[in-house]
Amino acid sequence: DAGVIQSPRHEVTEMGQEVTLRCKPISGHDYLFWYRQTMMRGLELLIYFNNNVPIDDSGMPEDRFSAKMPNASFSTLKIQPSEPRDSAVYFCASSGQGPHSSYEQYFGPGTRLTVT
């Protein structure tokens, strides 16, 4: 398996523009997580899905952020409109079933977002 795939790897956009980040989880994994990493807040969970259904979105910072998982192999995180303070590295991670295997999350390489 190629692991968790994220695109794009880098995104530079202007304030006010819409940004869409994409993720393909590991095949067979039924949990998908979106994280954001910043110097100030570290690695924080934004939202996670189980079997394509959003379970907890309490980490989503505000209504400008939205996430979807239309099928088991694809998820998007959208920011509209984007602001400079959204600049961060966004990671997608997935995990599988089992007593503890669902805790062992596999991360993608991340998308570095810069909003100017």
Asked whether position 74 contacts another protein by CB under 8 A, the answer is: no
29-50 in b/e burial notation, b at 16+ Cβ within 10 A?
bebbbbbbeeeeeeeebbbbbe
Answer yes or no whether residue 55 interacts with another protein by CB under 8 A: yes
* Residue 79 buriedness (CB in 10 A; 0-12 / 13-18 / 19+): buried
**Strands of the chain, DSSP E:** 5-7, 10-13, 19-24, 31-38, 42-50, 53-56, 65-71, 74-79, 88-95, 106-107, 111-115
Which residue in the set 14, 17, 51, 56 belongs to the binding site for another protein (CB under 8 A)?
Answer: 56
Q: Which range, of 21-29, 65-73, 80-88, 105-113, touches another protein by CB under 8 A?
A: 105-113
Q: How far is the CB of 80 from another protein (least distance, A)?
A: 25
Q: Does 87 bind another protein (CB under 8 A)?
A: no
73 contacts another protein (rule: CB under 8 A): no
Interacting residue ranges for another protein, rule: CB under 8 A = 4, 31, 33, 42-45, 48, 50, 55-56, 91, 93, 95, 100, 102-110
